[in-house]
Amino acid sequence: MNKYLAESIGTFWLVLGGCGSAVLAAAFPQVGIGLLGVSLAFGLTVLTMAYAIGHISGCHLNPAVTVGLWAGGRFEAGQILPYVVAQVVGAIAGAGVLYLIASGNADFSVAGGFASNGFGDHSPGGYSMLAALVTEVVMTAMFLFIIMGATDARAPEGFAPLAIGLGLTLIHLISIPVTNTSVNPARSTGVALFVGDWALSQLWLFWLAPIAGGAIGAALYRTISRDEG
């Protein structure tokens, strides 16, 4: 249970910190943090939690990471469902707290997107469904490739959270204009539940693509690592 609670708390922090930066601070008058700031915020949530709970649960915070680590031979299949449930619960709680904070502003409305992920008319840059699908698969694949490599027993010790956090930052810098960056079905689900409508109707892509990408990236690293060994 400690592992599941850790995953919930960690995913809560990811959604509150990452999506919170997008909703509350990205376009704040005159001193908004913009795309760069939001990208850093997502990376920092993972970096800080990796050091805080990595030794308890592995700090997945993401169903795509959990499934990917299983595909990479690093995680037991029987633990996938409880981990994913814990992550989604944490994401919803994080989105709920963010909603309570944001709704304290009289001008707030979920019509602005509430940091939800989307494609077509709901893509920040108007990108198509195919572009969104390719982006999410490739970015999540590279994320899992980084995670697998950084946590390999042969990698330098103690630096994995830095590589993983900076990797997620880079992923956001690339893909926020396309999908608002998911690479994490739990993160997408948490905020989509508060937006409803289009965010829920497009949510399927932000489960399918990251999980497929995560499995691909982890399996790829497992293949080259085996050859190297």
* Number of H-type helices and E-type strands within the chain: 10, 0
Reported as a single tens digit per residue, the pLDDT across 144-177 is 999 999 999 999 988 999 999 999 999 999 999 9
Q: How far apart are CA 151 and CA 179, in angstroms?
A: 28
Asked if 185 contacts 65 with a C-beta cutoff of 8 angstroms, the reply is: no
CATH number reported for the structural domain that contains residue 47 in this entry: 1.20.1080.10
- Give the pLDDT band (50/70/90) at residue 28: confident
Q: What is the pLDDT of residue 27?
A: 82
Asked if residues 136 and 213 have their Cβ atoms less than 8 Å apart, the reply is yes
The three-state secondary structure class of 182 is coil
Segments forming the whole domain that contains residue 195: 2-228
Is the Cβ–Cβ distance between 62 and 9 less than 8 Å?
no
Q: What is the pLDDT of residues 110-148, one digit of tens each?
A: 988 899 999 999 999 999 999 999 999 999 999 999 999
* 63-71 and 185-195 helices, crossing angle to 10°: 160
Local confidence band at 228 (pLDDT 50, 70, 90 cut-offs): low
pTM given for the model: 0.94
Whether the pLDDT of residue 1 is over 90: the answer is no
CA distance 196 to 33: 27
Q: According to the model, what pLDDT value does residue 227 have? A: 57
**Distance of alpha carbon 28 from its chain centroid, rounded?**
23
Provide the domain count of the chain.
1
Assign 57 to helix, strand or coil.
helix
Greatest alpha-carbon pair distance for the chain in Å reads 59
Give the pLDDT band (50/70/90) at residue 192.
very high
